[in-house]
């Protein structure tokens, strides 16, 4: 393993994933890092304790296990520093607490993950931050939304559930000219398919619950900052005492080693299923940036290196009064796709998307929106399952 960032960058993505974050010869050659369960760390002398003159001081500030994961994410993101938090949602909320103060104005993309919207509308509002939602297609036109007190622009591309792409470089150019920080929830792409900091984003956020953990059994989030914004992030992390647990960090690092292979498979299966759905008469539209028919496809192709395995489709339904009944019939007709939240794990999942909290974007008129997380099963089995669901919807 090399600590040389340039040499590391030249390695292929799967080689990077296998080696990132930890040198086996830092721990007797063992290929995985130890799981250090800790609160207290001892100091040898009172003077060392007073000066905090040693690498580890207390486990909220990091352990060898959490450091191994943070180092790995730094390498993958090209970041100055990364913090761990107990969920993807906490990764976004902590970021907002780090960079926003009373009286600030924040621009939040309207296709943002729903629980983040809830945080903005309740806690940020209570703390006196003025939140405004903007259209994900804004690009450079976001400038019209800027006010003298605009301090932060939050992006998420593609957007939650409806997968709108965003012109990140155009937004970054405006935001930096107006001295605002740009944050991005990059959970869908992971740094393998998009590296936000390379495109000028200041803070890159991932719900490691999804693809990095990969097995539907861990909750964790990472926040990675560039040089300019790292200090503040680290300070706020320390002040809040919100940290990731070593056991979970170990599992996420373990997941990272195979994330490239899993993503390849999620992508190939999702694309095959998306193309198959698109040709069906009972499907109005498929919302997946990797499809040439999708409005954000050109931006995706320009900036991203791949597409992960989550997308939605709009079922074609005669009238609005049938939306709920048909959506439920489809979901209840599935047996391999489980009905459950989250994504990025090994099993396929499905749900009906609720778009009623959107401020700017309007829900599709043609029918209910159904989101699929395409898992690692055989694609022929998944298609047969979807066929059963669609048949059930037709019959309902």
Determine contact, residues 249/38, Cβ cutoff 8 Å: no
> Smallest distance from the beta carbon of 343 to ligand PLP, in angstroms?
7
Tell me, rounded to whole angstroms, the distance of Cα 258 from its chain centroid.
17
Taking CB atoms, the residue at the shortest distance from ligand PLP is 88
Give the Å distances, CA to CA, from 41 to 1, 63, 67. 28, 9, 15
> Smallest distance from the beta carbon of 185 to ligand PLP, in angstroms?
5
Our CB check for ligand PLP shows the closer of 164 and 185 to be 185
Place of tokens 């953990």: 213
> Smallest distance from the beta carbon of 284 to ligand PLP, in angstroms?
23
Our CB check for ligand PLP shows the closer of 156 and 167 to be 156
Our CB check for ligand PLP shows the closer of 63 and 373 to be 373
Round to whole Å and give the CA distance between 130 and 127.
Answer: 9
> Smallest distance from the beta carbon of 89 to ligand PLP, in angstroms?
4
* Dihedral sign (CA 102, 85, 339, 343): positive
User: Among residues 313, 308, 309, which one has the least CA distance to residue 330?
Assistant: 313
* Dihedral sign (CA 361, 157, 168, 117): positive
What six digits make up the tokens of 241? 């005492």
Determine contact, residues 46/38, Cβ cutoff 8 Å: no
> Smallest distance from the beta carbon of 379 to ligand PLP, in angstroms?
23
Our CB check for ligand PLP shows the closer of 223 and 336 to be 223
> Smallest distance from the beta carbon of 211 to ligand PLP, in angstroms?
11
Our CB check for ligand PLP shows the closer of 69 and 393 to be 69
Helix residue spans in the chain (DSSP H): 5-10, 13-19, 46-51, 64-77, 88-99, 114-119, 125-126, 168-177, 190-193, 227-240, 246-278, 297-303, 323-332, 379-395
Our CB check for ligand PLP shows the closer of 64 and 255 to be 255
Which residues bind to ligand PLP, rule: CB under 6 A? 87-89, 113, 156, 160, 185, 187, 207, 209, 219, 221, 342
């Amino acid at each position: 393993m090399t600590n040389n960032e340039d040499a590391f960058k030249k390695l292929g993505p799967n080689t990077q994933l296998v080696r990132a974050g930890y040198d086996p010869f830092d721990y007797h050659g063992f290929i995985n890092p130890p799981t250090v369960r800790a609160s207290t760390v001892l100091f040898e002398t009172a003077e060392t304790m007073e000066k905090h003159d040693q690498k580890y001081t207390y486990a909220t500030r990091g352990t060898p296990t959490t450091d191994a994961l943070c180092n790995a994410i730094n390498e993958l993101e090209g970041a100055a520093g990364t913090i761990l938090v107990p969920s993807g949602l906490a990764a976004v909320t902590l970021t907002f607490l780090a960079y926003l103060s009373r009286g600030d104005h924040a621009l939040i993309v309207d296709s943002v993950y729903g629980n983040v919207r809830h945080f903005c509308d309740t806690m940020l509002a209570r703390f006196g931050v003025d939140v405004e939602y903007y259209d994900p297609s804004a690009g450079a036109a976001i400038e019209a939304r800027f006010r003298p007190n605009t301090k932060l622009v939050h992006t998420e591309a593609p957007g939650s559930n409806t997968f709108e792409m965003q012109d990140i470089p155009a937004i970054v150019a405006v935001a930096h000219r107006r001295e605002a920080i740009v944050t991005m929830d990059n959970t869908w792409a992971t740094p393998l398919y998009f590296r936000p900091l390379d495109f000028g984003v200041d803070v890159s956020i991932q719900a490691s619950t999804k693809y990095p953990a990969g097995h539907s059994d861990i909750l964790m989030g990472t926040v990675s900052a560039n040089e300019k914004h790292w200090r503040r992030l680290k300070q706020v992390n320390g002040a809040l005492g919100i940290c990731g647990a070593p056991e979970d960090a170990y599992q996420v690092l373990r997941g990272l080693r195979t994330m490239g292979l899993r993503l390849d498979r999620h992508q190939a299966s999702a694309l095959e299923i998306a193309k198959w759905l698109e040709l069906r008469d009972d499907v109005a539209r498929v919302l997946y940036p990797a499809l040439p028919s999708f409005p954000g496809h050109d931006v995706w192709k320009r900036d991203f290196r791949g597409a992960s395995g989550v997308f939605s489709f709009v079922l074609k339904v005669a009238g609005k009064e049938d939306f709920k009944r048909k959506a439920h019939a489809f979901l209840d007709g599935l047996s391999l796709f489980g009905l459950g939240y989250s994504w990025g794990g090994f099993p396929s999942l499905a749900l009906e998307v609720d778009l009623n909290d959107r401020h700017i974007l309007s829900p599709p008129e043609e029918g209910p929106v159904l989101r699929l997380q395409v898992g690692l099963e055989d694609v022929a089995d998944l298609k047969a399952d979807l066929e059963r669901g669609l048949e059930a919807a037709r019959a309902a």
